[in-house]
Structure 1
Amino acid sequence: MTPATQTLKKHKIAFSEHEYAHDPNCTNFGEEAADKLGLAPAQVFKTLLVSDEKALYVAIVPVTGKLNLKRTAAALKLKKVRMAEPKEAERSSGYIVGGISPIGQKKALTTVIDASAQQFDKVYVSGGKRGFDIGLAPDDLASVCRQACFADIAEA
């Protein structure tokens, strides 16, 4: 069990577990998960951390798109955000890059989920390690993440 699955069980949130053999040479973790699990890429979401230089925040976007920093800052009611450094993200979340789950992080961070997630019955996010995703309802994802909201933060 990972901190993500422990958190979901503690909150009695239904989820599915999906393991696959992670290729250590692959750095596009989300697309690898979609491909190896046979999932629609638009339903698989990546967890990114951003910073306004004072605090860190979580942004969850489909693996098919990129994070729009201006829209993310607006959704968080901030002037500007930047991508967090990988070491900064790992230290804050307690997970390693490529396995950062939005659920069960060491520090609960304010979270923004791309609005496209709401079109699906189930979305897939990292389960807390490379080669492991969890599937759950978007509203359940929002409820288990700190102060989560949905906003249009992704771009093609």
Structure 2
Amino acid sequence: MTKQTKTNAMRILDRNKVEYGAFQYLSDEENTDGTLVARMNERNTDLVHKTLVARNAKNELFVFIIPINKELDLKNAAKAAAQKKIEMLPHKELLKYTGYIKGGCSPIGMKKLYPTFLEQSSEQMGKVIVSGGKKGFILEISIENLLSTLKGQLKDLIKG
């Protein structure tokens, strides 16, 4: 019997007895699109969310979780985080601050628990799909469990 691979995000959810679904996919450059990954795992593509990290002028970090097909509105994000202005964290700094790389950045299990915000329109779906913390892994988790685990808040974050 083979041992199931667990990511740090999964271990945190397991330790906290949080219910979630874990799915794996072949991780190559052609399969990193979130919509395709959802289809490969027979999941609703509307549930797929991306994790974005931004910072303020003092280099304090903030995490934003938005639908994969939407764009983060930096003004809305700054307002949600009670900041005057924020900017996206460059991809090359992602590993240093979060412990994750682009394409495998989960909101769960970062090096620190940064203030985290989920797009408020996602609440109506009841659950979301986020990165599992490593390329090739995704997690399906209820909005309630995600927000509880991350001490997150629902806010208006997207453009349009």
Q: TM-score, normalised by structure 1?
A: 0.92
- Give the Cα–Cα distance (whole angstroms) in 1 for the partners of residues 19 and 140 of structure 2: 9
Q: Is residue 40 of structure 2 the alignment partner of residue 36 of structure 1?
A: yes
Q: Is residue 65 of structure 2 the alignment partner of residue 60 of structure 1?
A: yes
Distance 1:53 1:29, change over 3 A: farther
Q: Match of 2:28, SS?
A: coil
Q: Is residue 45 of structure 2 the alignment partner of residue 6 of structure 1?
A: no
Q: Deviations over 1:68-107 (max 9, x none)?
A: 1110000011111111011222211111110000001112
- Give the Cα–Cα distance (whole angstroms) in 2 for the partners of residues 29 and 88 of structure 1: 21
Counterpart amino acid of 1:97?
A: K
- Give the Cα–Cα distance (whole angstroms) in 2 for the partners of residues 85 and 32 of structure 1: 25
* 1:125 to partner: Cα distance: 0.3
User: What CA RMSD, in Å, does the superposition of the two structures yield over aligned residues?
Assistant: 1.5
Please, which runs of 5 or more residues in structure 2 have no aligned partner? 1-5
* 1:53 to partner: Cα distance: 2.5
Match of 2:51 in 1: 47
- Give the Cα–Cα distance (whole angstroms) in 1 for the partners of residues 70 and 118 of structure 2: 13
Distance 1:25 1:33, change over 3 A: closer
Residues 100-119 of structure 1 correspond to what in structure 2 (within 5 A)? 100-119=105-124
* Identity across the alignment (%): 34
Match of 1:153 in 2: 157
* 1:37 to partner: Cα distance: 2.3
